[in-house]
Amino acid sequence: MNSGEISQDMLAEYGTLSSAIISDALDLAGIHGTLIGLSTQVSGLRMCGPAFTARYTLAPAALNRFADFMDEIPKGAVVAIDNGGRTDVSVWGDTLSLFGHMNSFAGTVIDGVCRDIDGTRAVSYPMFSRGTYMRTGKGRVGVESTNAPITLSGVTIHPGDLIFGDDTGVVAVPKAAWAEVLAFARTIVHRDDAYEAAIRAGLSMADVWLAPDKT
């Protein structure tokens, strides 16, 4: 594993979790990594990978750049786009989803909106945003930066930070906390498995809460 790069084994283990479990693990680590207001637009899909970041701006000087960074995105990356939470212009549509699908991106998360959602759903491309809106961002917003820190729902995202999304929500795990958060997540999985086994065994709820200590 290169410095600052998540191992495939760790990435695969994160991929078996849920946003709820990772959120609980982030709480135990004292890290705010829940991306409030961002939700799936293609139900039933998970997204897990290192962030490739892009920030959009209203600045006129940036309007000549819109999606020219797509060829820079590596396979397995989550395209993390900071559009300032704008819901009046889209910065992603079905053409980009098809490109992402064909080039094995892990998915896209936008602090903003996407459009052409039927096309995105048709290729089963993981998409997380504040919703959908049909108006294009071309000529209205442009790319200010790529592969630099951005903000999604008030959470600072650095390039390479782990981003996970599912039907429940989206969470981000900073590079420096990958191992710590995963260790907490393993404990939570053990706890939840014990709860499930106790419930299926017909135990009372009072005894269910005690089950993890007995396994």
Whole-model pTM: value is 0.94
Q: What is the tens place of the pLDDT at every residue in 138-193?
A: 999 999 999 999 999 999 999 999 999 999 999 999 999 999 999 999 999 999 99
Q: Write out residues in the chain with pLDDT < 50, as ranges.
A: 1-3
Residue 177 has a pLDDT of 98
CATH assignment at residue 65 = 3.50.30.40
**Residue 214, domain member (yes or no):** no
Rounded Cα–Cα distance for residues 206 and 204 (Å): 5
Buried b / exposed e over 64-93, threshold 16 CB at 10 Å, is ebbbebbeebeebbbbbbbbebbeebbbbb
Distance of CA 39 to the CA centre of its chain: 9
Please, what is the angle between helix 19-29 and helix 178-200, to 10°?
Answer: 120
Residue 215 has a pLDDT of 74
Rounded Cα–Cα distance for residues 198 and 16 (Å): 22
**Residue 212, domain member (yes or no):** no
**Residue 84, domain member (yes or no):** yes
Exposure on the CB side of residue 176, measured as CA atoms within 13 A? 5
Rounded Cα–Cα distance for residues 62 and 83 (Å): 13
**Residue 200, domain member (yes or no):** no
Structural domain range at position 110:
8-176
Residue 101 is encoded by which pair of tokens?
Answer: 């699908």
**Residue 194, domain member (yes or no):** no
Structural domain count, the chain: 1
**Residue 207, domain member (yes or no):** no
Which residue reads 């590079």 in tokens? 175
Residue 214 has a pLDDT of 82
End-to-end CA distance of the chain: 34
**Residue 162, domain member (yes or no):** yes
Rounded Cα–Cα distance for residues 62 and 142 (Å): 5
Contact 99, 70 (CB under 8 A): yes
**Residue 206, domain member (yes or no):** no
Residue 89 has a pLDDT of 97
